[in-house]
Amino acid sequence: MTEFRYFIVKETETFQRLDRLISNHYSDFSRTRIQDLIRQGYIKADGKKVSASDKVKEGVRIDLILPQVEEAIPQPQHIPLDILYEDQDLIVLNKAAGMVVHPAPGSVDQTLVNALLSHCGNSLSGIGGIKRPGIVHRLDKGTSGLLVVAKNDVAHRGLSGQFSSRSLSRTYQALIWGVPNSFTGTITGNIGRSPRHRQKMALLLSGGKEAMTHYKILKTFGSIASLVECRLETGRTHQIRVHLTSIGHPLIGDPLYGSAPHKAPLALRQALMGLTQNLRPLLHAWRIEFVHPRTQEKLFFSVILPDDFLKAIDIMNKYVERF
């Protein structure tokens, strides 16, 4: 259903940018959404077309026509979800390894978005005018663990702001080959598309985007492998996988960025690869912490390691005990 809103510009609001002024009046819309409505002609000043950067005077009437929220193109599909928390604004869930987050070529359905469209139904008020869940951050298909998803523009804008300011904290656990030289450390380097392998990301000497990963060793398995905790300062595609590989310690089970070192015993490699035959890197987003965008309450959630991860640790422990 189309909605109509309007307000009269006050003296104290004179000569403000139009998009900023409207955003101040209607906090349930993002600036991007307001700019889209202006470009499409749904917002007018005294009946005239406007631009987002226009400055307005006292007494001008600002009219907004809010078109009906469009249905999302992906279709709802009933897929079980492991939900830890849900309210009118957001959902925190534990994504299973093997689930793709967004529909894409090769994965057009059975994704997290399809599942969320079915689960949320009419509780989605629309992100940018489209009835869809707001995916604020992503996990690779093979990565398991925590994701927070927005259900409306207010939550989407608030959570995205926390990602931009790096105040939203995400912590992962990873099982890697070898043992890093330092018990704790920080890995930096710009990440961008690999010029040699278009399926991969890489550290680049020029270009790319700044990336920073803090790690600490939680447990070692002789000199063969380590369980490490990684905390992200940034959220680049494949960041942990690229950074750990760059210091010579790729994730166990990662088919794209690294394989088992030659010194790893064949029996151990076979046992571990038996767990990861679906090419699943052993990476798990186990903790997330953020401020609720509406209530301003500080929230944190954690989930235990999944079965395949725990079985890999058990295999490592038994190997170390024998040798």
193-210 tens-digit pLDDT: 888 887 889 999 888 999
Token pair 């925190």 is at which residue?
Answer: 92
Long-range contacts of 301-308 (CB under 8 A, 24+ apart): 301/84, 301/85, 301/92, 301/146, 302/146, 303/84, 303/94, 303/145, 303/146, 305/173, 306/96, 306/97, 306/144, 308/97, 308/275, 308/276, 308/280, 308/282
Q: Summarize pLDDT for 271-283 with one digit per residue, the tens.
A: 877 775 555 899 9
Known catalytic residue at 153 = no
Range with the largest mean pLDDT of 102-111, 154-163, 253-262: 154-163
Give CATH for domain 71-165. 3.30.2350.10
Residues sharing a CB contact under 8 Å with residue 93, sequence separation 6 or more, in sequence order: 81, 82, 83, 84, 146, 147, 149
- 3-68: in CATH 3.30.1300.10: no
Q: Among residues 19, 36, 89, 140, which one is catalytic?
A: 140
Tokens coding 76: 């709802």
| Burial of residue 63, with CB atoms counted within 10 A of its CB: 0-12 exposed, 13-18 middle, 19 or more buried | middle
Q: What pLDDT score was predicted for residue 265?
A: 76
Predicted local confidence at residue 267, as pLDDT: 79
| Cβ–Cβ < 8 Å for 57, 22 | no
Q: Cα separation of 113 and 76, whole Å?
A: 8
Confidence of residue 8 (pLDDT cuts 50, 70, 90): very high
Q: d(Cα 263, Cα 38) in Å, to the nearest integer? A: 62
User: What is the CATH number that goes with domain 169-322?
Assistant: 3.30.2350.10
The percentage of residues in the chain with a pLDDT greater than 90, rounded to a whole number, is: 61
For residue 30, what pLDDT is reported? 79
Mean pLDDT confidence for 35-53: 92
Main-chain dihedrals φ then ψ at residue 143, nearest 5 degrees: -90, 135
Taking 60 as the threshold, does the pLDDT of residue 251 lie above it? yes
Question: In this predicted structure, what is the pLDDT of residue 1?
Answer: 66
CA 163 to CA 169: how far, in whole Å?
8
Q: What is the mean pLDDT of residues 63-89?
A: 87
User: What residue ranges do the domains of the chain occupy?
Assistant: 3-68, 71-165, 169-322
| Mean per-residue pLDDT, 29-34 | 82
Do the domains 71-165 and 3-68 match in fold? no
Which whole number is the average pLDDT over 119-139? Answer: 80
CB 256 within 8 A of CB 158: no
Whether 5 and 42 have beta carbons less than 8 Å apart is answered as no
Q: Which residues of 118-149 are buried (b: 16+ CB within 10 A; e: fewer)?
A: ebbeeebbbbebebbbbbbbebbbbbbbbbbb
Q: What is the mean pLDDT of the chain?
A: 89
